[in-house]
Structure 1
C-alpha cells in the first residue's frame, strides 16, 4: 500500500530510519583505558607536568634510608591523629620554626642548619 506498482512506477521511498531489528550493527568506539575508569567520583589528570614534577623529586636518597623502596614506604604513612599516637602526631606536624606573635624574625644564615630541638607545648 501507499505506492504504485508496474512499469514506469517510481521506486518506493525508503523510510528515514529503519526499525532497530533491520539496522546494521553499530560500531562501538573503543575508549582508551583510564586509571580512574572504575571510580565515578574521581578524575585523574594523566598528563605529566614536568615543571612541577621535577620540583618534588630528589636527586639522592636521604641519609637514614638505604634504598628507594624503604624511603617511599616511610613516606606512605599517614600524619593524622587517627594513625599516630598524640605525642608523635605533634612531633610530625609541628612547624620547623616557632616564633611568638610580633617578634622580629632574623634572616636565614648560610651556615649549616642545626638539628631541630624538641618542640615546647
Structure 2
C-alpha cells in the first residue's frame, strides 16, 4: 500500500491565557493529506500505514514530537509527556470551521492545559 501524499501545515500561536497577545515563537507543524476540497482526508489517514508526524516548538524547550490522530470526534494532535509513550499522550483537539486548512485561518486547539488559538501560517 502506498503512503498518502502529505502536506506540511504550520501553525503559530495567536492567543492563549498565558500569551493573550500571541507569540509567534510557539509553533506546531504537522503533516496531513488533503481531500479533493482541500480539507483533511480521513480516508487517507485510515489507509496510511505510517503515522502522520507532528512537532511542537516552544521557545526555551526541546521540540516535542508527536503525531496526528483522527476519530469520530475529529482531528487531534498527540504529544507525549516527558518519558511517556505516544499511545498514552493526551489529545489536543483541533477545532476549525469549513476551509480551515488555508493560510490566515485561525483554529482552536484544546488540550489538557486549556485552549489556545493558532493561525495557519503555511500549507505546503
- Rg bigger for which structure? 1
Task: Name the TM tier (shorter chain).
Answer: under 0.3
Structure with more helix by fraction = 1
Q: Give the alignment's TM-score, normalised by structure 2.
A: 0.19
Larger RCO (CA under 8 A, 6+ residues apart)? 2
